[in-house]
A and B are shown apart, each in its own frame.
Chain A
Amino acid sequence: MISRQMKSDIIEKAMFALFRIMSFFVLSFLAFIVIYIISKGYSALSWEFISEMPRNEMTQGGIFPAILGTFYLMVGSAVVSIPIGIITAVYLTEYAAAPKLGKIIRLGVNNLAGVPSVVFGLFGLSLFVVFLDFGTSILAGSLTLGVLNLPMIIRSSEEALMTVPRTYREASLSLGATRLQTIFRIVIPNALPGILTGVMLSLGRAAGETAPVMFTAATYYAPELPHSIFSEVMALPYHIYVMATAGTYIQETRNIQYGTAIVLIVLVLLLNSAGLVLRYRFRKRLKR
């Protein structure tokens, strides 16, 4: 006879073991994906691969224009989303006098965060590419990605601004500083690491997004490097997609596809880990 006590102990052990196994299964799948792609693609990596133009109908040579294009799109989207995002967060934490208005804005932020990226692509196509006639260009792509990243910047900035103790603000105001001075000299500097976390994460997202860029900025192959914000560009994620699904040399260029995927993963992971490290240290500093 098994007592009830023993039975529930056995169930407890079994369930906990199951949860552990399931958690580590997901992690090993992640590890498998990353390791597999690296093991298949590292042979493609070389200095030439990241610094040269593609050759022979893109079956040889490097991916420099795609790296440069992604860089331009990251910078462009940052120029759009960072100032607007931080100021929105400042408004939410420092001004929003009517709590109802703050609530509505937050609802807007949450809903904007949930809009599918392909819908952002449609939006960018109809507003920036067609209606404002920017064409398929760095400008249209940057604006689309900038709008896409707004919620992320707002949320992380808001979180960071709220961790600045109220006493800092009171002390500043009582010394005769205006609200504006308090915000720019006290509140924002103290929240900066947290704000930077959001910036890093949003840069990583801008680098990795494909669908919004596909309609608004990216081209399959550009013989020259872009010379203005109205040029269309090659971009890393779109490059992977096109090389893997279209064209006549899908099998022959697998190596390049894996190599491009590694470059994109490394870029995104570097940005993200920089963001996470910043946040970790920021939170630790606050706990002190």
Chain B
Amino acid sequence: MYNKNLQNVTHMSSGLNNNIISQSLPESRIHMGDSRKSIIADKIFEKLFFILGLSCIMVLLLITIFLFSEGVPLFKNVPVANFLFGTQWYPTSDNPRFGILPLIAASVSVTLLASAIAVPFSLAIAVYLAELASLRIRETLKPVIEVIASIPSVVIGFFGMVVLAPFLQKQFNLDTGLNLFNASLMLAFMAIPTIASISEDAVSSVPVSLKEASYALGANRWQTIFHITVPAALSGIWTAIILGISRVIGETMVVLMIAGGAAVIPTSIFDPVRPLTADIAAEMAEAPVGGSHYHALFAIGIILFLITFIFNLIADYLSNRYRFKGG
């Protein structure tokens, strides 16, 4: 520890030679008049930074304001209960119906199935990387897992559409391969990097002393992982799962391209469905600005925004609440 600090100091002083002594010092010495000016500049910039620093909060506020101002007008014509629990979604017919229950059911079922697939695989990867893999494999595989996260969702959707859909259709003798199951598979694949990498952080941050105590009591590596390491990392793992689920709920292109698009409450995992996000993306182009349909799509946006907001608050709470301090 002491050695490391010492190295830091020497490293630092070499950095300082280039930066401060050659630049700031002569300036502030020679032009004494400048110092007041730069103090004023300092104050002004602090205010400016403060304002820009609030940008994210302001954007969140703006999103809320615009979603609500465009979504709430729907409820002048359609009661909230009819909107949330209505089973008919016919936004463009002469006598339009704006019941989003089929869309909610679609989002929920796709999300549950995708999570059920993604969580075991993600945890397997997390434990493998944190506990089993050699340092070299770990250093190579972690970026590869991140590559999955970076593949554009439209490409995943495209793959599900042209490769997986015909395959599923043939294998299971279905009317269409574009269905709940297909969408869940591809969504699970997309959620794995999120869940795996955050869980991996949680698992590897479990203090070594806990594991050593377990080994000392005669437990083998698996028993230690199963009874000690994973339970100790559980809050981090939950954070990972919740963030992963939140991502699945909000994912648009994959479900738009491969969920099938039928606004009907699904009765089997091979039914085509129309999740909330897909509905917005599919219909926004044809909804005239300011009409009921337009307002209804924004009202769906409000629902999505609230759901993901709550999930993120929970994740934030969990990750702040339980964290190992020191080791």
Would you list which residues of chain B between 131 and 184 have a CB under 8 Å from chain A? 132, 141, 143-148, 150-159, 161-163
The verdict on A9 contacting chain B, using a C-beta distance below 8 Å, is yes
Which residues of the other chain, B, contact A104 by a CB distance below 8 angstroms?
Answer: 57
The verdict on B125 contacting chain A, using a C-beta distance below 8 Å, is yes
B150 touching A261, Cβ below 8 Å: no
B312 touching A111, Cβ below 8 Å: yes
- Of B38, B57, B121, B146, the residue contacting A108 (CB under 8 A) is B57
Would you list which residues of chain A between 72 and 96 have a CB under 8 Å from chain B? 84, 87-88, 90-92, 95-96
Query: What is the CA–CA distance of A244 and B20 in the complex, to the nearest angstrom?
Result: 57
Would you list which residues of chain B between 229 and 249 have a CB under 8 Å from chain A? 243, 246-247, 249
Given the contacts A111-B60, A122-B297, A167-B9, A20 and B277 also touching, CB distance less than 8 Å: no
- Of A30, A121, A150, A168, the residue contacting B56 (CB under 8 A) is A150
Closest to A122 in B: B301
Tell me how far the C-beta of B40 lies from the nearest C-beta in chain A, rounded to whole angstroms: 10
Query: What is the CA–CA distance of A29 and B118 in the complex, to the nearest angstrom?
Result: 13
Which of B46-54, B77-85, B87-95, B97-105 is the interface stretch?
B46-54
The verdict on A142 contacting chain B, using a C-beta distance below 8 Å, is no
Tell me the dominant secondary structure on chain A's binding face.
Answer: helix
The verdict on B309 contacting chain A, using a C-beta distance below 8 Å, is yes
Query: What is the CA–CA distance of A33 and B148 in the complex, to the nearest angstrom?
Result: 10
Which residues of the other chain, A, contact B132 by a CB distance below 8 angstroms?
Answer: 16, 19-20
A237 touching B148, Cβ below 8 Å: no
Closest to A37 in B: B159
- Bits for A258-277, please: 1 = Cβ < 8 Å to B, else 0: 00010011001100110010
Given the contacts A12-B221, A175-B25, A119 and B304 also touching, CB distance less than 8 Å: yes
Which residues of the other chain, A, contact B212 by a CB distance below 8 angstroms?
Answer: none
The verdict on A181 contacting chain B, using a C-beta distance below 8 Å, is yes
Interface size classification for chain A: 35 or more
Query: What is the CA–CA distance of A91 and B49 in the complex, to the nearest angstrom?
Result: 6
Query: What is the CA–CA distance of A151 and B56 in the complex, to the nearest angstrom?
Result: 8
Given the contacts A119-B250, A123-B67, A172 and B15 also touching, CB distance less than 8 Å: no
Closest to B313 in A: A111
Tell me how far the C-beta of A97 lies from the nearest C-beta in chain B, rounded to whole angstroms: 9
Taking beta carbons and an 8 Å cutoff, which residues of A are in contact with B?
A: 8-9, 11-12, 15-16, 18-20, 22-23, 25-27, 29-30, 33, 36-37, 84, 87-88, 90-92, 95-96, 104-105, 107-123, 125-127, 130-131, 147, 150-151, 154, 165, 167-168, 171-172, 175-181, 185-186, 189-190, 201, 204-205, 207-211, 214-215, 237-238, 240-241, 244-245, 254, 257, 261, 264-265, 268-269, 272-273, 276, 280, 288
New A-B pairs, 10, CB < 8 Å, besides A87-B52, A111-B309, A254-B162: A12-B222, A22-B125, A23-B121, A88-B52, A116-B305, A122-B297, A150-B55, A168-B16, A176-B29, A208-B150
